[in-house]
Amino acid sequence: MQAEYWLKRWQNNDVGFHGDNVNPSLDRYFTNLNLPLDSRVFVPLCGKTVDIHYLLNMGMQVVGVELSELAVQQLFDELALTPKITTHGLLTAYQALGICIWVGDVFALTVEHLGHVDAIYDRGALVALPYTIRSQYAQHLISLSDAAPQLLITCIYDQSQRSGMPYSVPAAEVQSIYAKQYSLKMLSCEKLNQGIKGVTPASIVVWLMTARAS
């Protein structure tokens, strides 16, 4: 997962991937998950995203996992919350009312760590992972959450035109790694006029995924 790369970026405040505003796709499509108040939403590779503020303000509980402890510390500072910090093997938990963020490698996270979740919100995780581990990551999420419904945001463009994240994750790949356990519905495919890192054409794609009947 190139842990040193990500840790160094947070240490150097090289976090251009961190947006100051709530993701418009979350604001527009979150209600498609049909979650009651106090539902528990899992946000993998969460950084210090302001989307967590949004979810808390919507009456959700939030559980996340993030490699950088600095990012998690900044998140709690920005939420004006004082966390209880506990160590659990390879992971550290930062907890306050309605929120628990695990610090460490997402692949070290277990069902016992995570507990029950009602939904997954993946805005920046799948697109941050190289192709070689995206299938492993998807299966890990399915196992962790018992295939909880998921709002997934990806992007598509010609990956040969640039290297690095956010990676292009075409519809065929989403189908390949998730369709066995989930029914997939594309909610939106919106063209980005400015492209992605200067590459055009490019689009943002929003998926709603619900578990297939067993």
pLDDT at 59 exceeding the cut of 60? yes
Domain limits at 143? 3-211
- Where on the phi/psi map is residue 66: left (φ > 0), alpha (ψ -120 to 50), or beta? beta
Q: What is the mean pLDDT of residues 195-201?
A: 93
Q: What was the pLDDT predicted at 19? A: 65
Q: Token match 């996270």: residue?
A: 109
Whole-number Å distance between alpha carbons of 65 and 52 = 12
pTM for the full predicted model: 0.94
Of 96, 110, 140, the residue nearest 122 (C-alpha): 140
Torsion (CA) 133, 134, 139, 143 in degrees, nearest 10? 90
Write the CATH number for 121: 3.40.50.150
More confident residue, 212 or 6: 212
pLDDT at 4 exceeding the cut of 80? no
**Where does the pLDDT of residue 1 fall: very low under 50, low under 70, confident under 90, or very high at 90 and above?**
very low
Of 213, 48, 70, 46, the residue nearest 120 (C-alpha): 46
Q: What was the pLDDT predicted at 10? A: 57
HSE of 214, CA atoms in CB hemisphere, 13 A: 2
* Overall number of domains in the chain: 1
119-132 pLDDT, tens digit each: 999 998 999 999 99
64-100 pLDDT, tens digit each: 999 999 999 999 999 999 999 999 999 999 999 999 9
